Amino acid sequence: MSRVVDSLVGKTEDIKLERERARRIERAGKDFGFFCRTYLSDYFYTAPAEYQRNLYEVADTRSLSQSLVDRIKPFVREKYWSLLRPTEHLAGALFIEPREHGKTVRWSFAYPLWQVLTGRSRYVLLIGASQTAAQENLINIRTELEENEQILADFGDLRGDRWSDARIELANGSCIQAKGSGASMRGTRFRQYRPDLIILDDILKDDAVESPTTRSKIHRWLKRVVFNLGKTAFIVWVNTIFHSDDPASRLLHELEEGTLKRWAAVRLSVFKPDGTPLWPENWSAELLEEKRQTLGSDVFSTEYENEPLSDEERIIKHEWIQAHIYVPAELPAGLRYFAGVDPAAGKHDHTAIVSVGVDRAGIIWEVDSWAATCSEDETVTQLITKHKRFKYALIAWEEVSFTNIYARYVMRMAAAENVYLPIKTVKAGTESKVLRVRSLSPLIENGLIRLRDRGNRELIEELTSFPKGRFDDLPDALAYAVHIITRAADTPQVVPIRRMAPTIAQQTLRGYKR
């Protein structure tokens, strides 16, 4: 009797386990995030970030709805919103993601594995910068199929007749193949099938980025070969922008111009437009700042913010600044001081103040720079402190929308402390920020503007990464400070002179003042 009961209990338990397995497989087939956490927990031990879920949906539905566009926009800088056009039946999606944000693990490893295990794709093609790079991803996939106990328990042993580093054919009738960028694709078939999913992952080698010939060669290869591999093939292209003319950038330009149809692109920076981290669960603001300081602004801007700046695009070059940089002992006496203020336009924007001194020869010496996200009271405190130190002749304040009201408020607050700030609002007019900062270029190159050798790292980084840096408030404040100097040409100056017997003119003036 006990054996019968045990047998029944065992069968019941088996039925329960089989039902759980069936439910697990069914859910995994519909939910890529669940698949990753369930079967690849060594790689995916936290829930996906919100932006990642949005990208999954684009790839899963192979479309970009208006609702999805609205959900993606908070993660994308406004200047790249034009890439987000609602489109049904996409031929491809380009995801520009920062470095160390898991794009290769998600898209070149987990995603193709999910596709073949759940029957969504029959023939997947992995393309990397080299054959070796592509094969590394395929080897990782193969290892999971061979050794992952959860996958083996739910999907079985799927090893097929061909099981190499470059190509695996699964027993469920699917195939994954690895190819290097620029490779011949002749005869790229699995049985009677052409690729139905193509994954492109950082397809340009680091040492090839600076070569215009190589960039053009790979771009032509993509258009002539890869984009023609199959009428029904869906392309997921994941990349970091390494050059403003690399293949990914060229495709972005084609999308903006409207010459490339049925494609969508999501261009992401490590920071969201509101200044917070894109993936806060993995990268805090403090860690990102530490990374920026370690790498330097140029490398960080390229690999983490996806805003590369080639030498041709750079308005102000490092070597110009270094050629005329000065140490404190070289600062001449008798300078006349001015400041430029770029007030914050929103709660996440920086307010920037740059102070300069002008010597008798007309050389402009940068003596102080400061920028922060701050309250109006903090702005007042900063200006009062700096005015007490420098005794500004004039302070240029950018006048846009409400900022003239803001300027008057700051002046009144300072006056309440018996400090009278010589603020003069300056209209930006039709001149763009790029033109204002560009006007500094010849002055810096020729040593007419000289920067300190310390205490102004943010200013130098913003100048040399302009116009693609994360912040550009300090260069604009400097431009306004330089601009206001010309306005002060007729402003009376107090010049200390040696006491001498009063001249007839001085006696006359004293009589006039009475």
Phi, psi torsion values for 436, nearest 5 degrees: -65, -45
For 456-474, write each residue's pLDDT tens digit.
989 998 898 888 777 889 9
The fold of the 318-487 domain, in CATH, is: Nucleotidyltransferase; domain 5 (3.30.420)
Question: Could you please report the per-residue DSSP string of 328-352?
Answer: GGGPPSS-EEEEEEE--SSTTSPEE
Q: What percent of the chain has pLDDT over 90?
A: 64
pLDDT at 512: 30
Confidence at 210, pLDDT banded by 50, 70, 90:
confident
Question: Could you please report the per-residue DSSP string of 182-250?
Answer: T---TT--BTTBPPSEEEEE--S-GGGTT-HHHHHHHHHHHHHTGGGS-TT-EEEEEE---STTSHHHH
**What does DSSP assign to residue 309?**
-
Phi, psi torsion values for 377, nearest 5 degrees: -65, -40
pLDDT at 404: 65
CA distance 323 to 260: 45
* Mode of pairing for the β-strands spanning 394-399 and 336-342: parallel
Q: 403 or 267: whose pLDDT is higher?
A: 267
For 162-205, write each residue's pLDDT tens digit.
999 999 999 999 999 999 999 988 778 899 899 999 999 999 88
Q: Where are the beta strands (DSSP E) in 279-411?
A: 336-342, 351-358, 364-372, 394-399
Architecture field, domain 31-291 = 3-Layer(aba) Sandwich (3.40)
For 289-304, write each residue's pLDDT tens digit.
999 888 887 788 889 9
pLDDT at 500: 38
Write the CB contacts of 75 (distance below 8 Å, at least 6 apart in sequence): 50, 51, 54, 266, 268, 272, 273, 278
The sign of the dihedral angle between the CA atoms of 63, 68, 74, 79 is positive
Averaging pLDDT over each range in 261-275, 397-411, 416-430, which range is the top one? 261-275
Q: In which residue ranges of the chain is CATH 3.40.50 found? A: 31-291
For 220-277, write each residue's pLDDT tens digit.
999 999 999 988 899 999 999 988 889 999 999 999 998 999 999 999 999 999 989 9
Q: 493 or 469: whose pLDDT is higher?
A: 469
Q: 287 or 312: whose pLDDT is higher?
A: 287
For 430-458, write each residue's pLDDT tens digit.
578 888 888 899 999 999 999 999 999 89
Model confidence pTM above 0.75: no
Q: In which residue ranges of the chain is CATH 3.30.420.240 found? A: 318-487
For 111-122, write each residue's pLDDT tens digit.
999 999 999 999
